[in-house]
Amino acid sequence: MTATSFTPLIEGMKLSGRRSFQFATVAFFAATRLAWSDTTPSAVPAVPVPAEGGITVVWTATQASQAPTVFSSADLTHIKRLSSSETDPETGKSVHWDGISLGDLIDRTMKSISNEKKAQIDLVVLKTADGAEALVPRSFIVKYPMMLANRKDHKALTGFESVAPWTSQSKVKAEGLPLETYFLKGITQVELGNYRERYGSVYLKSRKEPTALRGEKIFIQNCLSCHNGAKGEKGITEARRYMDQHPTVAGAPKLDERDRRSLKTYLETYQAENAAPVPTAAKR
């Protein structure tokens, strides 16, 4: 990444107060967009398409030779069932959901691998047939009963919808995660990945500054839901359109002053680490 890539960020830092933070955050998205696309793993080749009512689980971390696992609708009857009443983020109404446990599905897929390799799976990507994605930390799925629902208000759905226990679990909002983005319709694939392997370029090289590392975590778990290198009208085009004010994002958690300070420290540290060195004058 060149110094020119960070021109918007550097200019943003010249502003003051909250506006500077907002400008720098969005400019950072633009500056790093190209770098992420270079480090994002290529699509898993020859991923089997599941039959209607089935799900394919693929690996993009630690198990390069691991074949995708295809769960047919009959296989899924053996997965643990869950049910809960959650507010539908689209309608704002309480809905009763029934489905399979995402955590149990993942555990069964990883049953035969070592604990060391299991520990490297820290990112779960839920995907639809048309390419939509939801990025969910595996730690969230381990801690909370997230489901892939196939019934809604006791009526069968045409496909699976991911449902996070964001209103039935009193502690879940304290996690500071973009919970509404975890709701996705028409899921056909579950990817078991690793944040660092997929988005290695957004990690800081220095691991010594606690505030910057906290901001890094906030950025990775929240901002990458939209600014993840996926195709579409996002990234650079969107960032330039909203240089002075980042648009309101549905489902994004509210950041307090400490969060904003941590995120700003992370952005500044990242910029300092990745700015091109100033060339020295040649000796005569």
The number of distinct structural domains making up the chain is 2
Looking at the structure, do residues 83 and 153 belong to the same domain, yes or no? yes
Q: Are 70 and 132 found together in one domain? A: yes
Whether 22 is covered by a domain: the verdict is: yes
Has residue 89 been placed in a domain? yes
Instruction: Kindly state the tokens that stand for 281.
Output: 């004058």
Element (H, E) at 152: strand 147-152
Residues 99 and 205 in one domain: no
Residue 207 counted as domain residue: yes
CB 10 within 8 A of CB 271: yes
State how far the Cα of 197 lies from the Cα of 166, in Å rounded to an integer: 28
CATH number at residue 145: 3.90.420.10
Whose CA is closest to 124, among 198, 37, 73?
198
280 domain residue, yes or no: no
Domain annotation covers residue 46: no
Please tell me whether residues 150 and 214 are part of one structural domain: no
239 and 268 in a single domain? The answer is yes
What is residue 242's predicted lDDT score, i.e. its pLDDT?
A: 35
Do 193 and 207 fall into the same domain?
Answer: no
Q: Note down the domain range covering 107.
A: 55-197
Residue 279 lies in a domain: no
Residues 185, 84 within the same domain:
yes
How far is it, in rounded angstroms, from Cα 35 to Cα 38? Answer: 5
- Domain boundary among the residues 133, 165, 197 is at 197
pTM of the complete model: 0.74
- Whether residues 61 and 148 share a domain: the answer is yes
- Please write the tens of the pLDDT for every residue from 58-105: 988 865 567 789 999 999 999 999 999 999 999 999 999 999 999 999
Asked whether residue 126 falls in the same domain as residue 228, the answer is: no
Q: Is 284 part of any domain?
A: no
pLDDT surpasses 90 at 126: yes
- Of the chain, the end-to-end C-alpha distance in Å amounts to 30
- Residue 187 phi, psi dihedral angles, 5° rounding: -75, 130
- Shared domain for 254 and 133, answered yes or no, is no
Question: For residues 262 and 39, what is the distance between their CA atoms, to the nearest angstrom?
Answer: 25
Which of 197, 228, 250 is the last residue in one of the domains?
197
pLDDT in tens, 219-244: 888 877 666 544 333 332 333 343 33
Least confident among 28-42, 216-230, 259-273: 28-42
Specify if 281 maps to a domain: no
Last residue of a domain, one of 197, 218, 239: 197
pLDDT tens by residue, 261-270: 888 888 788 8
Say if residue 120 is in the same domain as residue 221: no
Label residue 203 by pLDDT band (50, 70, 90). confident
Asked if residue 123 and residue 205 are part of one domain, the reply reads: no
